[in-house]
Chains A and B, each alone.
Chain A
Amino acid sequence: MEVNTRNFRPLSACACRDANLRAVLDHATRHFQNIRKLSMDVFSGREDHFARARAARFTALSRLPDLLEQLEENATAAGTVVHWAADAAEARAIITDIAKAANARVIVKGKSMITEEIGLNPALEAAGAEVWETDLGEFIVQLAGEPPSHIIAPALHKSRQDVVKLFAEKLNLHGESIPELTMLARQALREKFLAADMGITGANMAVAATGSVVLVENEGNIRMSTTCPRVHVALMSLEKVVADMDAVADILRVLPRSTTGQKMSSYVSVLTGPRRQGETDGAQEMHLVILDNGRSKILADPLLRQALACIRCGACLNVCPVYQTIGGHAYGWIYPGPIGTLLSSLLLPHAETRDLPFGCTLCGACKRTCPLSIDHPKLMMALRERVAAKRQNRMGAAHSLLARHPRAYRMAVGAARAVDPQLDLLPRLPGLPGLSEFVDSRHPPELKKPFTARRAKAKAKKERS
């Protein structure tokens, strides 16, 4: 997927003006917050479960290289072919080679952000394969030629009418109601599942102790993609590994509730190698591709590495006032919302992501919601520091200089008050970025007789009486 993070500011302004998008986001984020809250309110022992999920993820990070080696060993013993990819280009090459070797003409894919990150589909199509997104939301955005707009509900920005038109135009299939449209997608994709040579998925977790890949879903498209085709390729970013099945259980106790308020997703698949002798379904050839793409170097940073612990529940998106207003596309890459800002800033070139950490009010709703207590605001501040170190901020330097010298500070404020107490003119001076727009929509505060002077006067009056 093309990186457009440098346009975060104009894209976010644009999103604010899109009334339809605003309405969809308002509805969807409230809905997810409500269903999540209903579930969390009755989740007995919630804080302890969260702490255990956090420990499972952080322990894995603290043992990452050992666990990856163990994962490779056990996956290989189960018959999985394990590959390592340093970056997106290598991962694409590995997977297209597998597809070529398997003579894969039809490929089905489960929802996987990591496959978006490496730009996989165009590479497979260039190699002559037909690639079908099978998650309903992804299927819809694929037909529309758009990127997904939300981690959990990729087609959130599309209305029923949009889908009616899309299915008619692209598939020549006609339906009106949402159940009808869903059944049409089921029919269309079932053909593909049964004809597919290869299924590609991500991995919610990879288990070092058993060499397993864990996949979580509601639709059944991932089960279909890993049960029917002859070849299964699972692509995982290296931080997805956990130590053992107990860690998996601890995370599963939390993940579905935090995502959609479900006690458990409809389907969880724990896949360990290809099918065994005598089994009649499941892949006959299984591959696991372990991808770096900028993550390994993050482990060295004691503060920023907690971003790698994320279990992709999407809860931080739904409570973020900025995400609630602008949606996913404005963030300019795969990962939106608070965690998206962190991941994009860590994985992409710094020059591309300078504005992202400033698109945050530091309200902390994300941190308070995150089941793993990832400290998004603190990381946001560290990223701001990184940006500021490379930039000159004359206004800030001037302000700090004044603030160090109270007499000069008071004189400056006093002068402003003498000249423009209503602040009609000063905010509109050139060279004060953003202030002019700010006062367009807010009547500025008045510069009044300062508290210190009032207090001194009141004290003097009291002493006289």
Chain B
Amino acid sequence: MTASVAASKNARAAMLATLRKGLADAPFVVPAPPARPASVPIGTDAWERLAAVLEPLGERLRMAGNRAEACEHVADIARERQARTYTRWDTALDGLGLDEALSSLVRVAPGPCKDLGQVDLGLALAHGALVESGSMVLVAAPGRHRAASLLPPASVILVPKSALLPDVSHMPALLARYGEDGRTPSCLNLVTGPSSTADIELVLVRGVHGPGTLDVIALDWDD
């Protein structure tokens, strides 16, 4: 056993012993808190409510009633952002026909971050969309790379209707549901707006390390 592993073991024992003694000397019970205020349920106006929350974050919500409309929106965004290259989640987004819509762009497959450093546009599919805060829930897995919603300066997130959820109190269930083989996924991201900072004189700037623009496409059909 190396010196540092031994030190870690000793530290562990000492820390836990001190904590246990402290609680034994002065135990406390925390009273149960009030019930969580009821979530606002997902109703027929969910997309409107989501759009309203996204707007001040600088995000535009585009409605798509079918695959063709979704692809049109994607093509529009690629043009608006002057994108020449893109990366996307694979199997999750395979059935939409996105590659045709983006045929004039070069597609870069999921890979090491170094290879994705110059990509213009990234597309991902939301596992959840939390209406209260406008937060997109993205769970990583093979073919669902984290970089897709992080490295390119322009980000697009497609939201299936079934992904609509009231608020963050629904996030734990998603984490539990989307693990492979019952294991917790390696990474769950909540994405709420483009990357931003106000560290210089409290002036808001978007697109500091993560994407500067985030467009959301509502896949408004039942599947």
Contact = CB atoms under 8 A, between A and B. Distances in A.
Q: Do chains A and B touch in the complex (CB under 8 A)?
A: yes
Interface of A: 27-28, 31, 44-45, 48-49, 51-52, 54-55, 58-59, 62, 64-65, 68-69, 78, 83-86, 90, 93-94, 97, 134-137, 140, 153-156, 158-160, 163, 178-179, 181-183, 185-186, 189-190, 193-194, 210-212, 218-221, 223-224, 227-228, 238, 244-246, 248-250, 252-253, 262-282, 290, 292, 296-302, 305
B184 A78 contact: yes
B51 interface: no
B192 A263 contact: yes
A1 to B, nearest CB: 19
B35 A48 contact: yes
B95 interface: no
Nearest to B25: A300
Given A178-B203, A249-B171, A300-B21, A194 B113 contact: yes
A276 B186 contact: yes
Contact of A90 (B11, B143, B185): B11
B208 A186 contact: yes
A299 B193 contact: no
Nearest to A222: B209
A267 B16 contact: no
Contacts, number: 283
B172 A266 contact: no
A193 B151 CA distance: 11
A273 B21 CA distance: 31
A250 B196 CA distance: 24
A301 B110 contact: no
Given A223-B150, A296-B15, A278 B143 contact: yes
B172 A244 contact: yes
B169 interface: yes
Nearest to A296: B18
B43 interface: no
B36 A219 contact: no
Contacts of B207: 182-183, 186
B1 interface: no
Nearest to B26: A302
Interface in B153-193: 167-169, 171-172, 175-176, 180, 183-193
Given A160-B200, A266-B210, A228 B113 contact: yes
B200 A155 contact: yes
Interface of B: 4, 7-12, 14-16, 18-23, 25-37, 53, 110-114, 117, 130, 132-135, 140-143, 145-147, 150, 167-169, 171-172, 175-176, 180, 183-203, 205, 207-211
Top 8 A-B pairs, shortest CB-CB distance? A220-B210, A278-B142, A45-B37, A300-B22, A245-B172, A55-B33, A137-B199, A220-B209
A256 to B, nearest CB: 8
B113 A68 contact: no
A173 B146 CA distance: 30
A208 B196 CA distance: 30
A58 B28 CA distance: 9
Contact of B113 (A178, A183, A193, A271): A193
A275 B8 contact: no
Given A219-B210, A300-B22, A85 B8 contact: yes
B199 A276 contact: no
B145 A280 contact: yes
A94 B64 CA distance: 52
Interface centre among A181, A228, A265, A298 (most CB of B within 10 A): A228
9 contacts: A48-B34, A135-B199, A158-B200, A178-B201, A178-B203, A245-B171, A249-B168, A264-B192, A281-B146
A350 B117 CA distance: 50
Contacts of A194: 113-114, 117
A93 B146 CA distance: 31
Contacts of A179: 205
B199 A140 contact: yes
Contact of B199 (A136, A212, A280): A136
B89 to A, nearest CB: 11
B59 to A, nearest CB: 11
Contacts of B210: 219-220, 223-224, 266-267
Contact of A185 (B21, B110, B176, B208): B208
Query: B23, B175, B197, B209 — which one has the most chain A CB atoms within 10 A of its CB?
Result: B209
A308 to B, nearest CB: 11
Contacts of B140: 275, 279, 282
A97 B186 CA distance: 24
B134 to A, nearest CB: 7
B8 A84 contact: yes
Which interface residue of B29, B36, B110 has the most chain A CB atoms within 10 A?
B36
B189 A182 contact: no
Contacts of B130: 264
Given A86-B15, A155-B200, A212 B34 contact: no
Given A182-B197, A219-B209, 9 more contacts: A52-B33, A55-B32, A85-B11, A178-B203, A266-B196, A267-B189, A272-B184, A276-B142, A305-B22
B88 to A, nearest CB: 13
Contacts of B198: 153
A55 to B, nearest CB: 4
Given A182-B197, A264-B134, A277 B142 contact: yes
A307 to B, nearest CB: 14
B7 A90 contact: yes
Contacts of B4: 83, 93-94, 97
Chain A CB within 10 Å, residue with most, of B9, B113, B167, B189: B113
Contacts of B196: 218-219, 266
Contacts of B188: 269-270
A453 B200 CA distance: 61
A297 B22 contact: yes
